[in-house]
Amino acid sequence: MTANLKIPVQRTIAFSAVLGLILSLILFIPGNSSAKVTGLCVNCHTMHNSQDGGAMATYGGTSGENSCLTRGSCIGCHAYNKTGAASVVDVGGSQIPQVWHAGTDLAAGNFKYVDGADYGKGHNVTDFFGADSDVDLNAAPGVQSGHESYLTDSTLKCAGDRGCHGIRDSDTGILALKGAHHGNVDGKCNDPTTVAKSYRFLSGVKGLENTTDKWQNKDVTSHNEYFGAITPMTEACLNCHDGGGGPVISSTNTISGFCGTCHGNFHFLAGIGGDTSSPFTRHPTDVDLPGGTTEFAAYTTYSVEAPVGRTTVPDTASGTVTPGGGTDVITCLSCHGAHGTNYPDMLKWDYLTMNAGGGGSGGCFTCHTEKDNP
Ligand code: HEC
Ligand code: HEC
Ligand code: HEC
Ligand code: HEC
Ligand code: HEC
Ligand code: HEC
């Protein structure tokens, strides 16, 4: 017996040593941490949508059963309490980031600004606003030819088909994200081969998610890092339809290419004038921020108001901008929000106060550093 006992003990030690090694390898992959949803199942799921005879799938005022047996739809969980101040709601210990609330905006902005007569301040997703809610717009401005009827204020959704998050194929809503929340990769998203591994569940998009102040662009060193390139994409079908006919993805993996899947002409190389250098015919995105003797050379401290993208996903957020190095580029999010902002055209600042020679700062002047000079 005593002789027999030793073997399992040694095995246990050897096994735990190996396990320890494996665990430490997993834990020390830089910048690539797991942020899977945590907490009691009952915080987020209901098995029958019934307890004591009452409905349980009621989050955010939603009603009715959902795929994956969740207690709310996308907006049920992510607009849990529209009038509350919490930008991240605590439900039984589980933290749910909010896209519509009364508090301080998270990085993508806030859909509250788009309500009512302010439909021009952001994306009129039908999940919140129903069909045809943008009085001035139907099709997405700049939408690539032939796609005008697919991408409108009557079709736009949070997720899946005609939407932004998840697999953009035939499914909509929670099914388009199935597996993403429990598999969520936090921090560095450099291998976006699944929705869980993509930046903010945007299929195919790379980036660095802020793990210090989650979901926030707080200040010069605590922010997300957007992925960009030094040349925008071309109109080829397979640049948006994976493999030619598959789900819609940003094939260049950039955030601007992602916006370009619906606003193609504003992003395509042909759309900005056919070249990555001046003169341009539309404001460029996914082009290098010039350095040398240009006015851009003075933009050296990262601004969360007019951020640059990076051509390599960094391990940690950086407060430095390096013009002219082929590393720091302009993106759609250098000027725009993603959900909604407090300014017309979902801009990050008030364009109508940008006054050449007026001595202003911020906004356009963050990059065009000499245009404010009186
Ligand atoms: C904080 C919220 C939250 C908690 C807690 C949670 N889930 Fe989920 N779960 C979700 C969401 C949201 C989805 C649907 C979207 C998705 O899959 O990304 C989901 C999907 C699932 C799925 C289908 C997709 C997959 O990943 O397999 C299963 C099964 C599941 N949950 C089981 C559980 C169990 C079991 C527990 C408790 C041990 C639990 N969940 C706790 C939010 C949660
Ligand atoms: C049952 C509640 C629940 C539902 C339903 C739900 N979510 Fe979430 N979602 C969460 C929680 C909790 C987190 C935070 C996960 C974490 O801590 O990283 C989250 C995180 C996210 C994130 C941020 C991921 C990241 O990179 O940090 C996105 C984007 C998102 N959800 C989109 C959606 C969309 C789109 C839908 C509908 C298809 C949806 N969610 C449905 C609870 C939910
Ligand atoms: C799934 C398609 C889709 C994607 C992806 C998309 N948009 Fe849009 N966008 C639309 C549609 C449709 C409209 C017009 C309806 C409306 O106002 O929401 C629109 C409108 C806009 C507007 C004008 C808002 C207004 O009401 O005047 C801006 C600005 C904009 N998008 C910027 C962006 C940016 C920046 C991104 C990337 C972060 C992006 N879009 C990604 C479909 C999309
Ligand atoms: C700039 C990106 C982009 C390019 C380039 C592009 N598409 Fe699309 N296409 C989309 C988006 C986005 C949708 C809406 C799909 C969705 O999310 O439901 C779409 C939808 C479609 C649909 C409607 C059926 C469906 O699956 O929703 C067809 C058909 C289609 N595209 C064909 C083409 C063909 C053919 C080409 C090449 C000539 C092409 N597309 C080029 C982005 C693009
Ligand atoms: C340099 C800042 C800047 C960048 C970068 C930028 N935009 Fe804009 N965008 C603006 C301004 C300013 C407007 C107001 C209309 C105008 O001046 O053309 C606008 C308007 C829009 C509109 C509304 C157009 C309408 O008809 O109402 C859409 C959609 C849009 N932008 C999408 C994008 C997308 C997608 C990208 C990236 C491919 C992008 N923008 C990059 C500054 C920018
Ligand atoms: C994140 C940096 C950034 C911001 C913010 C920005 N721009 Fe630009 N802008 C650039 C870059 C880079 C170019 C391309 C310059 C080059 O390659 O010569 C450019 C080009 C232009 C051009 C065309 C110049 C040419 O040579 O064809 C105009 C006009 C312009 N920007 C105006 C604006 C206005 C107005 C705003 C504010 C709404 C703005 N920009 C915001 C970086 C920026």
The answer to whether the CB of 158 is under 6 A from ligand 4 is no
The answer to whether the CB of 260 is under 6 A from ligand 4 is yes
Distance CA 139, CA 148 (A): 6
Task: Label residue 8 by pLDDT band (50, 70, 90).
Answer: very low
Atom of ligand 6 nearest to the CA of 306: 5
> Which residues lie below 8 Å from residue 355, measured CB to CB, with a gap of 6+?
none
Residue-level pLDDT at 138: 96
Give residue 24 CA to ligand 1 midpoint distance, Å: 26
The answer, yes or no, to whether residue 187 has pLDDT greater than 90, is yes
Q: Which ligand is nearest to the CA of 224?
A: 2
Give residue 109 CA to ligand 1 midpoint distance, Å: 26
Structure tokens at 51: 């307890």
Distance CA 338, CA 346 (A): 8
Distance CA 75, CA 61 (A): 9
Distance CA 140, CA 157 (A): 13
Residue-level pLDDT at 36: 84
Give residue 218 CA to ligand 6 midpoint distance, Å: 24
> Which residues lie below 8 Å from residue 130, measured CB to CB, with a gap of 6+?
none
The answer to whether the CB of 251 is under 6 A from ligand 1 is no
Distance CA 334, CA 348 (A): 8
Task: Label residue 23 by pLDDT band (50, 70, 90).
Answer: very low
Distance CA 43, CA 69 (A): 12
Single-letter amino acid, residue 74: C
Q: Which ligand is nearest to the CA of 332?
A: 5
Average pLDDT over residues 12-29: 43
Q: Residues 244-281: pLDDT tens digits?
A: 889 999 999 999 999 999 999 999 999 999 999 999 99
Structure tokens at 117: 């007569």
Q: Residues 39-77: pLDDT tens digits?
A: 999 999 999 999 999 999 999 998 899 999 999 999 999
Q: Are 91 and 44 in contact (CB under 8 A)?
A: yes
Q: Give me the chain's average pLDDT, please.
A: 91
Minimal-distance CA residue to ligand 3 atom 33? 259
The answer to whether the CB of 242 is under 6 A from ligand 4 is no
Instruction: Find the Cα–Cα–Cα–Cα dihedral 343, 347, 351, 353, rounded to 10°.
Output: 50
Compute the residue count for the chain: 374
* Nearest to 240, CA basis, from 262, 266, 272, 270: 262
Q: Residues 106-145: pLDDT tens digits?
A: 999 999 999 999 999 999 999 999 999 999 999 999 999 9
Distance CA 251, CA 40 (A): 37
Q: Which ligand is nearest to the CA of 244?
A: 4
Atom of ligand 2 nearest to the CA of 71: 1
**CA distances, 351 to each of 113, 302, 347 (Å):** 17, 20, 7
The answer to whether the CB of 292 is under 6 A from ligand 6 is no
Q: Residues 210-245: pLDDT tens digits?
A: 999 999 999 999 999 999 999 999 999 999 999 888
The answer, yes or no, to whether residue 288 has pLDDT greater than 80, is yes
Give residue 176 CA to ligand 1 midpoint distance, Å: 14
Instruction: Find the Cα–Cα–Cα–Cα dihedral 254, 257, 262, 267, rounded to 10°.
Output: 150
> Which residues lie below 8 Å from residue 56, measured CB to CB, with a gap of 6+?
46, 48, 49, 50, 71
Q: Are 335 and 344 in contact (CB under 8 A)?
A: no
Q: Residues 84-97: pLDDT tens digits?
A: 999 999 999 999 99
Give residue 223 CA to ligand 6 midpoint distance, Å: 23
Lowest mean pLDDT across 16-20, 216-220, 277-281, 321-325: 16-20
Atom of ligand 1 nearest to the CA of 182: 26
Structure tokens at 248: 């819609």
Distance CA 369, CA 113 (A): 29
Structure tokens at 279: 């003169």
Q: Percent of the chain scored above 70 by pLDDT?
A: 91
Q: Which ligand is nearest to the CA of 277?
A: 6
* Nearest to 134, CA basis, from 149, 158, 157, 154: 154
